[in-house]
Amino acid sequence: MAPNGNIVSIRNLSKIYAQGEIQVTALDNISLDIVAGEFLTLMGPSGSGKSTLLHILAGIDRPTSGECHVQGVDVTKLNESQLADWRNQNVGFVFQTFNLLPVLTAFENVELPLLLTRLSRGQRRKQVETALELVGLADRMRHLPKQLSGGQEQRVAIARALVTDPKLIVADEPTGNLDSHSAQEVLSVLQSLSKQAGKTVIMVTHDPKAAAFGSRTIHLEKGELLK
Amino acid sequence: MTIPTFILKNALRNKRRATLSVLSVAVSLFLLVLLLVALREITLPVEGAGAELRVAVRNKISIANLLPAKQLPIIEKIPGVEAVTPFTWFGGKYKGEQGMTFAQFALDPKKLRAVFTEAKMAPESYAAFEAERDACIIGKITADKYKLKLGDKITLESTVYPVTMEFKIVGIYAGTPDDRNMLFRQDYLDESSGLKGQVGMWWLKVKSAQDMPKVISAINNAFANTSAEVRAESERAFQLSFISMWGNIKLLVMLICSAVIFTLLLVSASTMSMAIRERFRELAILKAIGFRRRELFAFILAESFGLAAAGAVIGVGGAYLLFTYGNVAKMTNGMFPSFEVTSRIVGTGALVAAVLGIVASIMPSIAVAKMSVTDGLKTLD
């Protein structure tokens, strides 16, 4: 982490996609700092570059230019293998469409990131149970995703994001496929992770009501940060 | 959960597809083993105590052409010859059956033990065979099939000679490569058919392996430029000449095997590619979580290999059990007295399965390697 308490520091970040002869600028010279423990929401119209920014600071996409330091590590300089390891230890992902593996139970889905660690079976079990308790689903461990409601599935996804105890949780439209009640549940969990567990949560959303759960909201439009 | 459990769950996520994939591999490998064993049985050198010292002498024009019996003393005098017997195909039909399920040959009973040393039966049977005019001996496979025993009488209608003959079973032999044949006396055939002085071919035993080339050459030369020129050859060469009448059987079987393997490869590769394509988003999630390319390759390879291995266990294993413990002679109506699935053939089947598992995983692995996490996440179900 930077000495000023920033967990994320982005400087002059750009992302340009080449689609044949046409070049599409998804991000245009973005500079941004995110403080540790913040619940930051990224808002903007469709195509504004919110998800692209999220993907870059989560290490699943690379910028065309610029720097992106997360917890003191310039993720743009890591090779693919290093990036994979870094993601496993430092970032938890929550996606819009839950993306649980349908053949695995809730317990097994949450356990997935831990398979890459050297933890013993017993240690893994303990961490998984803790993560599921945190999201209020300890009694649904043996259920398959198809046996869970949408809100429960998303909470399992959050538990999976938490299980390696990352400092950073990134959520891309986590409530996009949920009804208002389930969305409320999920957002409350994310908020408590930030306020009580000290996690830094970065969430992309279209929904102003969801954005209200955050401690800060920034707006993007056509790849630029709006002041 | 462990990594192997994770792989297994993925492999079985679509149980119907997994079952069909395994069965397609199993059936194909069963067929492959069947073809390889059949080819081996057909081309296997005759083994037995006397096989390597036996020489077949037939009419040079065609095996269907007879030879004069007066050739016998000439052959017997050739240095290196230990014993000679006529061997005449009778072509008899038993009990009005449409086809012939066992062959019948006329020979000199006194020369049976000397020439066909591997045939084993009770000493009194040999004596009876030499003493009784209408005596015959039957191979154990045929005796068991028709529930024949000593003393039984059988009647055969020849398709070669204009005669129907009755025989008395005085012995049941075993221990030859083909325990199906019936053997009876050449003099009985001569009397009954009225065609004395003609034999089908000669079988002889040489004194040693060193004598064989000289004996073969001497026999061929002895009857060169006569009205009954002969072709003398070792038993192995005689056997192979029969097989070559069917065409290039080895090439044919190899082509069929290749077609089976190639088709299996296409089906397996297609199935694997489809299975992985459906899981692109899941694989993207795994990448996002931190799984590296090589780990995803390993998952795909393990799944593909596992399905192929399961198919191999069922197909190759099933073939081994069936052909080793089943009554193959009965199943093939006596065509194959034995049907040995050798360890080499089992190994070939296993190797094909292993290669299949690896090759089927190549295309999906390439697709996964090229896929970025963001592209994978956008994949629709």
pLDDT of residue A170: 93
Say whether residue A24 is in contact with chain B using an 8 A CB cutoff: no
Domain spans of chain A, in order of start:
38-59+78-218
**Assigned token pair, A45:** 């119209």
What is the Cα–Cα distance from B299 to B305, expressed in whole angstroms?
10
CB contact under 8 A, B6 and A108: yes
Chain A partners within 8 Å of B285 (Cβ): 93, 95, 99, 101
CB contact under 8 A, B289 and A93: yes
Say whether residue A151 is in contact with chain B using an 8 A CB cutoff: no
Say whether residue B13 is in contact with chain A using an 8 A CB cutoff: yes
User: Among A103, A107, A115, whose Cβ lies nearest the Cβ of B9?
Assistant: A103
Say whether residue A15 is in contact with chain B using an 8 A CB cutoff: no
Strands A168-172 and A200-204: parallel
Exposed / middle / buried, residue A1 (Cβ in 10 Å: 0-12, 13-18, 19+): middle
Which residue out of B1, B291, B297, B370 would a mutagenesis test of the A interface target, given it has the greatest number of A Cβ atoms within 10 Å?
B1
User: Among A81, A99, A107, whose Cβ lies nearest the Cβ of B285?
Assistant: A99
**Assigned token pair, A209:** 């009501």
What is the Cα–Cα distance from A48 to A218, expressed in whole angstroms?
12
Angle CA B232–B161–B89, to nearest 5: 30
Measure A159 CA to nearest chain B CA, in Å: 13
Q: Is the ipTM of this complex over 0.90?
A: no
pLDDT of residue B327: 77
Strands A216-221 and A39-43: parallel
Exposed / middle / buried, residue A153 (Cβ in 10 Å: 0-12, 13-18, 19+): buried
Query: What pLDDT digit, counting tens, does each position of A185-198 carry?
Result: 889 999 998 998 88
Say whether residue A88 is in contact with chain B using an 8 A CB cutoff: yes
pLDDT of residue B337: 66
Is pLDDT of B39 > 80? yes
Q: Model confidence at B49, in pLDDT bands (50, 70, 90)?
A: low
pLDDT of residue A81: 87
Chain A partners within 8 Å of B1 (Cβ): 104, 107-108, 111, 115
CB contact under 8 A, B287 and A99: no
Instruction: Yes or no: say if A215 and A39 are a contact pair by the CB < 8 Å rule.
Output: yes
Q: What count of other Cβ atoms lies within 10 Å of the Cβ of residue B140?
A: 19
Exposed / middle / buried, residue B92 (Cβ in 10 Å: 0-12, 13-18, 19+): buried
CA-nearest of A104, A99, A111 to A162 is A111
Question: For residue A52, what is the enclosing H or E element?
Answer: helix A50-57
CB pairs under 8 A between A and B: 65
pLDDT of residue A18: 84
pLDDT of residue B69: 94
Chain A partners within 8 Å of B282 (Cβ): 99, 101
| A4-41 burial code (b ≥16 CB/10 A, e <16) | eebbbbbeebbbeeeeeeeeeebbbebebebbbbbbbb
Query: What pLDDT digit, counting tens, does each position of B176-209 carry?
Result: 877 889 999 999 999 998 888 899 999 999 999 8
CA-nearest of A162, A184, A166 to A175 is A184
pLDDT of residue B241: 80
Measure B378 CA to nearest chain A CA, in Å: 10
Whole-number CA gyration radius for chain B: 30
Say whether residue A95 is in contact with chain B using an 8 A CB cutoff: yes
Chain A partners within 8 Å of B275 (Cβ): none
Query: What pLDDT digit, counting tens, does each position of A29-40 carry?
Result: 999 999 999 999
Listed as own residue / partner, the contacts of B320-323 with beta carbons closer than 8 Å and 24 or more positions apart are B320/B33, B320/B346, B323/B33, B323/B37
What is the Cα–Cα distance from A171 to A179, expressed in whole angstroms?
17
Exposed / middle / buried, residue B132 (Cβ in 10 Å: 0-12, 13-18, 19+): middle
Say whether residue B372 is in contact with chain A using an 8 A CB cutoff: yes
Say whether residue A25 is in contact with chain B using an 8 A CB cutoff: no
Give A 35-64 residues with CB within 8 A of chain B: 55, 58, 60-61
Please give the single-letter amino acid code of residue B30.
F
What is the Cα–Cα distance from A97 to B376, expressed in whole angstroms?
13
Measure A26 CA to nearest chain B CA, in Å: 14
CB contact under 8 A, A93 and B288: yes
Angle CA A170–A172–A177, to nearest 5: 135
Among A182-191, B82-91, B241-250, B263-272, the range of highest mean pLDDT:
B82-91
Residue range A38-59+78-218, CATH number:
3.40.50.300
Say whether residue B1 is in contact with chain A using an 8 A CB cutoff: yes
CB contact under 8 A, B10 and A88: no
**How would you list the strands of the sheet with A91-94, edge to edge?**
A91-94, A168-172, A200-204, A39-43, A216-221, A224-226
pLDDT of residue B330: 67
User: Among A95, A108, A116, whose Cβ lies nearest the Cβ of B290?
Assistant: A116
Task: Report the Cα A138 to chain-centroid distance in Å.
Answer: 22
Strands A6-19 and B67-68: unpaired
What is the Cα–Cα distance from B164 to A65, expressed in whole angstroms?
100
Higher pLDDT, A204 or B333: A204
Say whether residue A84 is in contact with chain B using an 8 A CB cutoff: yes
Measure A162 CA to nearest chain B CA, in Å: 11
Question: What pLDDT tens digit does each residue of chain A (227 aa) get?
Answer: 555 578 899 999 999 988 788 888 889 999 999 999 999 999 998 888 898 999 998 988 899 999 999 988 898 889 888 998 899 889 998 888 768 999 999 999 999 999 998 899 999 999 999 999 988 899 999 999 999 998 899 999 999 999 999 989 999 998 888 888 888 888 999 999 899 888 999 999 988 999 999 999 999 988 888 86
Chain B partners within 8 Å of A114 (Cβ): none
Mean pLDDT of chain B, nearest integer:
89
Query: What pLDDT digit, counting tens, does each position of A65-90 carry?
Result: 999 999 888 988 898 889 988 998 89
Is pLDDT of B45 > 70? no
Angle CA A113–A116–A122, to nearest 5: 80
What is the Cα–Cα distance from B317 to B322, expressed in whole angstroms?
9
pLDDT of residue B379: 66
Is pLDDT of B16 > 80? yes
CB contact under 8 A, B290 and A95: no
**Assigned token pair, B73:** 């003393």
**Assigned token pair, B98:** 């449409």
Instruction: Yes or no: say if A175 and A153 are a contact pair by the CB < 8 Å rule.
Output: no
CB contact under 8 A, B373 and A112: no
Q: Which residues pair with B145 in a beta bridge?
A: none
What would the mean pLDDT of B90-99 be, rounded to a whole number? 81
> In the 3-class helix/strand/coil scheme, how is chain B assigned residue by residue?
CCHHHHHHHHHCCCHHHHHHHHHHHHHHHHHHHHHHHHHHHHHCCCCCCCHHHEEEEEECCCCCCCEECCHHHHHHCCCCEEEEEEEEECCEEECCCCCCCCCEEEECHHHHHHHCCCCECCHHHHHHHHHCCCEEEEEHHHHHHCCCCCCCEEEEEECCCCCEEEEEEEEEEECCCCCCCEEEEHHHHHHHHCCCCEECEEEEEECCCCHHHHHHHHHHHHCCCCCCCEEEEEHHHHHHHHHHCCCCHHHHHHHHHHHHHHHHHHHHHHHHHHHHHCCHHHHHHHHHHCCCHHHHHHHHHHHHHHHHHHHHHHHHHHHHHHHHHCCHHHHCCCCCCCCCCCHHHHHHHHHHHHHHHHHHHHHHHHHHHHCCHHHHHHCCC
Instruction: Yes or no: say if B360 and B301 are a contact pair by the CB < 8 Å rule.
Output: no
Measure A180 CA to nearest chain B CA, in Å: 24
Query: What pLDDT digit, counting tens, does each position of B114-172 carry?
Result: 998 888 899 999 999 999 999 999 999 899 889 999 999 999 999 888 899 999 999 99
CB contact under 8 A, A108 and B374: no
Q: Model confidence at B336, in pLDDT bands (50, 70, 90)?
A: confident
pLDDT of residue A6: 85
Chain B partners within 8 Å of A89 (Cβ): 290
pLDDT of residue B359: 92
Domain spans of chain B, in order of start:
3-45+247-378, 61-228
Q: A5-19, B93-107, B212-226, B263-277: lowest mean pLDDT where?
A: B93-107
Q: Quick one: what percent of chain B has pLDDT higher than 70? A: 94
